[in-house]
Amino acid sequence: MNLILKTERLFLRAMTPDDYQALFQVLGDPETMWHYPYTLDGQHVRDWIERNRNRYRKDGFGLWAVCIGESGEMIGDCGLTLQNINGELLPEIGYHIRRDCQRNGYAKEAAKAVRDWAFRNTDYPALYSYCKYTNVPSFRTAESIGMHFACEYPDEANGRTHVSVISRENWLNELTENMIRWAKDKLGSSDHAGWCLSFIEDALEKSNGIEIFGGDSAKASALLYADGMRQSKPERGAFVFYDCICRGPDGPVNWGHCGISLENDRIIHAWDTVRIDDYREMEAMTTLAGDQPKYIGWVPVERVLKQKENA
C-alpha cells in the first residue's frame, strides 16, 4: 500500500486498478455526480484511475484513494491536481465521497490533510478548488478548510464555475495563531518542565492536527534547521533556539533551549513552568547546571513544517 496521508479517521493512498469497483460506486452514481457535466461510465472510471496514476509519476501527486482508517474501505478520492481554471493551469484540491458516507465530515478531513500536504511539499503560493456554481456542498467544504471565494466565470461545461482559494500566507497565519493560542493556554503549567522542545512541537502539532520531524533535543533541532536559521529579531510564530548546558543523567550536556516567538520581543517557552520572557533577557537566566542560555537564532514556522521524516 502506497500510503500518502493519515488523519484521525482516514488514510489516503495511491489508487490502483483494483479500486475500480469502489470508485465506480462514487463516480458512477448519478446523485453524487449531479453537479458534474456527466456521470462516469465504467471506461471513464478506469481512465480516471489511470490518469491519476500517471499524475503520480509525472507531478508527484494526484487524486488519492480515501479510505476508512479502521477497515481500509475506499469511500472516495481526494487530492491535488493541476487544472485549467479560467484559462490558467492551477493546483486544485478535489474530492468525491460516496453518497452513503457524505455528511460525516470526511471530505473536509481529507481536503484539510491534502491542503497541508500541498503547502508542505510544493512551492505553490496558493491552492484552489472549483466546481459548478450550484454545487454549494462542494464550495462549502472548500470554505471549511480556510478557502474563500475567488471568482466565478462562465464556461461550457458548468455554465458558470465557482472558484475558491487559500494563499500560503493565510495558511501559515492560521497554523501560527492556532499554535500560539495552544501555548498560551498552558501558561503556568509545569507539565513540560525540562521538555522545552516537546512543548513547542506539541503546540504546533496538537493545535493543527499535523506532524513535524525535528531532532531529539532543542540543540539537535537547531542543527537540522541550520539552513533556515536567522539571527535578527524573531518574527511571530518562529521557533527560537539557544545553546544551553543542562543537567543530564551523566553530567552536563548541551541539550539547548527553545521557545515560540510572540509579539514585542517575547517568547513563550517551557522552563520550570510555561512562561513568557524577553528573548534577549533569556540569556540572563540560569539553568540547574548553572549555565546561561546563549541565543543562536530563529527559524520561521514554514521551515519547521518542511522538515521531513528521517531527513
Which CATH number goes with the domain that contains 231?
A: 3.90.1720
Report pLDDT for 310: 40
Quickly count helices (H) and strands (E) in the chain.
8, 15
- The helix or strand, by DSSP H or E, that contains position 166, with its residue range, turns out to be strand 159-167
Question: Other CB atoms closer than 10 Å to residue 179's CB: what's the count?
Answer: 24
Q: Are residues 40 and 101 in the same domain?
A: yes
Q: Are residues 138 and 7 in the same domain?
A: yes
Which residues on adjacent β-strands are paired with residue 68? 10
Question: Other CB atoms closer than 10 Å to residue 22's CB: what's the count?
Answer: 19
Domain range holding 238? 185-305
Q: Are residues 190 and 299 in the same domain?
A: yes
Pick the closest to residue 7 from 111, 121, 102 (CA basis).
111
Rounded CA separation 64/78 (Å)? 5
Q: Which amino acid would we find at residue 228?
A: G
pLDDT digit string, tens, across residues 16-40: 999 999 999 999 998 888 888 777 8
**Residue 136, all three cell numbers:** 454549494
Do 116 and 211 touch, CB atoms closer than 8 A? no
Q: Determine phi and psi for 151, rounding to 5 degrees.
A: -175, 170
Q: Are residues 38 and 106 in the same domain?
A: yes
Long-range contacts of 283-291 (CB under 8 A, 24+ apart): 283/242, 287/244, 287/245, 287/246, 287/247, 287/257, 288/246, 288/247, 289/245, 289/246, 289/247, 289/252, 290/245, 291/244, 291/245, 291/246, 291/252
Report pLDDT for 32: 86
Longest Cα pair distance anywhere in the chain, in angstroms? Answer: 72
Q: Are residues 154 and 271 in the same domain?
A: no
Three-point CA angle 256, 197, 187, nearest 5°: 115
Q: Are residues 107 and 204 in the same domain?
A: no
pLDDT digit string, tens, across residues 114-162: 999 999 999 999 999 999 999 999 999 999 999 999 999 999 888 999 9
Q: Are residues 139 and 275 in the same domain?
A: no
Pick the closest to residue 129 from 174, 177, 196, 81 (CA basis).
81
Q: Are residues 152 and 210 in the same domain?
A: no
Within-domain flag for 161: yes
| CATH code at position 143 | 3.40.630.30
Which residues on adjacent β-strands are paired with residue 261? 267
**Residue 21, all three cell numbers:** 469497483
Among 142, 171, 200, identify where a domain stops.
171
Report pLDDT for 308: 61
Q: Are residues 215 and 71 in the same domain?
A: no
Within-domain flag for 178: no
**Residue 66, all three cell numbers:** 480515501
How many domains, the chain? 2
Report pLDDT for 307: 63
Pick the closest to residue 63 from 35, 104, 27, 105 (CA basis).
27
Which residues on adjacent β-strands are paired with residue 270? 274
pTM of the model: 0.92
Residues in the chain with pLDDT values less than 50: 309-311
